[in-house]
Amino acid sequence: MNDELTRAARTYRDAVTEEDAAKDALAAAKRRREQAAQQVAASRGPLAELIVTKAREGMRQVDILTAIEHVYTRETVRRICRAAGVEPRG
């Protein structure tokens, strides 16, 4: 009977340990996600500024898309340019 109780207690303790490890992993993942979101926000502005600069210099939209490796769609590049008062060239 004590063996049964001991096994049940160990099973429970192992489950709690596993849950704690999963909580720690989840918290770490949440921190990484927040850091990544900050990096995205910080890099968005400089990329948009360069897109507008290149469009003002006469770079074609298709060439901009190729240079930025299509991280934005054609429509997004167009919107970025138009918001800055630049009509992108085809």
DSSP letter at 8 equals: H
Q: Are 89 and 60 in contact (CB under 8 A)?
A: yes
pTM: predicted TM-score of the whole model, two decimal places? 0.73
Give Cβ neighbours of residue 84 (< 8 Å, ≥ 6 apart). 48, 52, 55
The pLDDT profile of the chain, 90 residues, written as one tens digit per residue, is 789 999 999 999 999 999 999 999 999 999 999 999 999 999 999 999 999 999 999 999 999 999 999 999 999 999 999 999 998 787
Q: Cα–Cα distance between 7 and 55 in angstroms, integer?
A: 70
Q: What is the largest CA-CA distance in the chain?
A: 84
